[in-house]
Amino acid sequence: MSAGEQPRYGTWIRSSRLRVFAGLCLLALAGCLFAVVSPWFLLFLAPLGIFGYITLILALTAYRLGPRGGDFQRRIHLLVATSLPAPGGSALDVGCGSGSLAVKLAQAHPALTVTGVDSWGDDWEYSSAECARNARIEGVADRVSFQQQCGSALSFPDASFDAVVSCMTFHEIKENADKTDGVLEALRVLRPGGTFVFLDLFGDRSIYPDPGKLCALLGAQPRPLTELMPLPFPLRHPKVLGHAMIVTGTQGNR
């Protein structure tokens, strides 16, 4: 790691979203204060409770994912990286965000070259420049590169990579109404015999309503993240990582 510099990875919780709900919570609280004028203002207690609960969950989740609250985002990325049986060759990280998983892949597998792709939309606080900076600081810039691409339509030819990973990305691809399309696209660029590790909200039936179709596509049964890593509150909440599952497989076993 470069002396005097620290990587910036952030968390999966958008600070802009947290600020919005915190602002709504404050507005509802201000409305409640006017109850001294009229008891009708007590109606603001309902939105105060709702927005307050959401703000609490978001804030605690960001804390738990960060270094001071257990560093669970880093630990989850390490789990994905070390679950990949790929000693060498090329790997693709679909939805690389700030580059954390791509960097950890390169660190866990010294003979592996890694490409990270992400759309880096305006509602996320990540960028390709930040990814490149993190890789440089972590000392793996010679084996890790980044490109701006959408996970719904990767520009790589079929069978381009020896390994493909993705962490908490497929359900975020807005272009895909059927979220299994993102999984299928990631598998398209994996060579026959290549390995993959995917972690997503595979247990959420509102996102993946057909578990049989998902298992047939993957050729393996996803395992709940909670079986591999104890998650404290609120990470085990169904709206956070309660439905997160991880799957490891080989192209050609489907």
* Whether the predicted model's global pTM rises above the 0.95 cut: no
pLDDT per residue as tens digits for the range 19-78? 999 999 999 999 999 988 999 989 999 999 999 999 999 999 999 999 999 999 999 999
Q: Angle, nearest 10°, between helix axes 211-218 and 180-188? A: 10
- Residue 87: other Cβ atoms inside 10 A: 12
Residue 131 tokens read as 């990814």
Q: What is the pLDDT of residue 3?
A: 57
pLDDT > 60? residue 2: no
| Strand ordering across the sheet containing 144-148 | 144-148, 111-118, 88-94, 161-167, 190-200, 245-250, 223-224
Give me the residue spans of the domains in the chain: 15-67, 71-250
- 214 and 170 in contact (C-beta within 8 Å)? no
Q: What is the pLDDT of residue 1?
A: 55
Q: What is the pLDDT of residue 215?
A: 93
Q: Which long-range contacts (CB under 8 A, 24 or more apart) does 191-194 make?
A: 191/159, 191/160, 191/161, 191/162, 191/251, 192/159, 192/251, 192/252, 193/250, 193/251, 193/252, 194/86, 194/159, 194/161, 194/162, 194/163, 194/164, 194/250, 194/251
Mean pLDDT to the nearest integer, 73-95: 93
Tell me the CATH number of domain 71-250, given options 3.40.50.150, 3.90.480.20, 3.40.50.1100, 3.30.70.1560.
Answer: 3.40.50.150
CA max distance for the chain: 71
pLDDT per residue as tens digits for the range 175-216? 999 999 999 999 999 999 999 999 999 999 999 999 999 999
